[in-house]
Amino acid sequence: MAAYLKKRFLEYTVAAMLAGFLAGLALQPWITANKGLMKNLIIAFAILTIYPSMIQLKSEKLGQAARKGREILVALLFVFLAAPLIAMLFASLLPDRQVALGYVASNVVPASSASIGYVLLAEGDLELATVLAVLSLLGSLAAIPGYLGLYASMSSLTVPMDKILASVLYTLVAPFIAGQATRWLLMRYHAAYKAPRGHPSATAWIAEELKHHTQLATMASMLVLVALLVASKAGLMVKMPLVAGEILLLQVAMLAFLLGLITAIDRAARVDYEAHTAIAYISATKNQSVAAAIAVMALGPKAALVPALIPAVQAPVAIAYLHALPRLKSWIETRGEEIEVKARLEEQALAPEAGPARRGV
């Protein structure tokens, strides 16, 4: 089921959005009368979407980041500086300030659980992707309230920082602690019952045998969450169809621009193909479940419209880039080879044994 749903996830996401939209129109009076219940359901499924990926997150690999300092630095500059600033620039093109604030929130949250999956499909550096996912998660605890507060002050908006901080704790800290605690208990269970029977290591057991269960739980929760978000905003989408279209077009343009910028800079910085895929997907694809919970809890109904719509375009852009990567691979690696050859030629030219002219001097 996990493999099937993963293969057809884009189609099911579109179907969930359509079902949510139709249900939202048909049940508009009930949704209006039960706003509190809808809000709680959205938050609950946002947490359920994040929790399984926190079990798979290998936080113990953080210590290996020191061996890839250049790649880590490039990625962090994109995740915490370039991507949020570009998102704020694109958000200024939206006419409604509350919607623009939701757009910023949707692009400063940490990487999505699907990000590492894209890196896996691209045959990229999974170890680096895992490290970047953890750093993205930890850094977002400060980046989310910081950038939202900055953009709100620039737009003359007032945002409840206490609610933003509370939503970050609910959607990031709590699932992270619960997921890592579950991972620890599973490793203890493996040591007591699986290892004596010759099963693979605990890390391999969680990553391989339990991966399909966590993937299925994440995808199923995401589909329900998307349907709930669209249902709760169906009336608003009917009233603001142009704004909904602008959100989708802006997000496609921003993702294309960001991925193109990352590719060009990684090539110039001599980042290899495997590391580039990790940097690109961790920087560009964001966890819209976190953005949805923050918008619902702290930013308002118009802001929540953005994370309800972005999943419809984020996956297609990520998949399109996946198809372009084989051609980009040779382009990226050629740049690295050219620089290495040039450096070797320069070293040979400056060496004492370079030739008679050099020895004569």
10-residue stretch averages of pLDDT, the chain, 361 residues long: 79 84 89 84 78 72 67 87 90 86 86 71 74 81 84 71 69 79 84 70 74 80 81 79 86 91 87 86 83 79 81 78 80 60 56 50 43
Beta-bridge partners for 286: 111
Residue 155: both structure tokens together = 């737009």
How distant is the alpha carbon of residue 210 from its chain centre?
Answer: 22
Dist. CA 52–CA 48, nearest whole Å: 7
pLDDT score of 149:
84
How distant is the alpha carbon of residue 359 from its chain centre?
Answer: 57
- The answer to whether the predicted template modeling score (pTM) of the entire model surpasses 0.85 is no
pLDDT score of 359:
46
Q: Give the CB-side neighbour count of residue 128, counting CA atoms within 13 A.
A: 27
pLDDT score of 253:
92
The string of DSSP letters for 147-171 reads: HHHHHHHHTT----HHHHHHHHIII
Buried b (16+ CB within 10 A) or exposed e, 11-45: ebbeebbebbbebbeeeeeebeeeeeebbebbbeb
In the chain the domains, ranked by start, together with CATH numbers, are 10-360 (1.20.1530.20)
Question: Contact at 8 Å (CB) between 162 and 93?
Answer: no
pLDDT score of 319:
75
Q: Where would I find the beta strands (DSSP E) of the chain?
A: none
Measured from the Cβ of residue 80, the count of other Cβ atoms closer than 10 Å reads: 20
The string of DSSP letters for 278-312 reads: HHHHHHH-B-HHHHHHHIIIII-HHHHHHHHHTHH
Which of 305, 307, 306, 311 minimizes the C-alpha distance to 236?
A: 305
Which of 309, 287, 355, 285 minimizes the C-alpha distance to 53?
A: 287
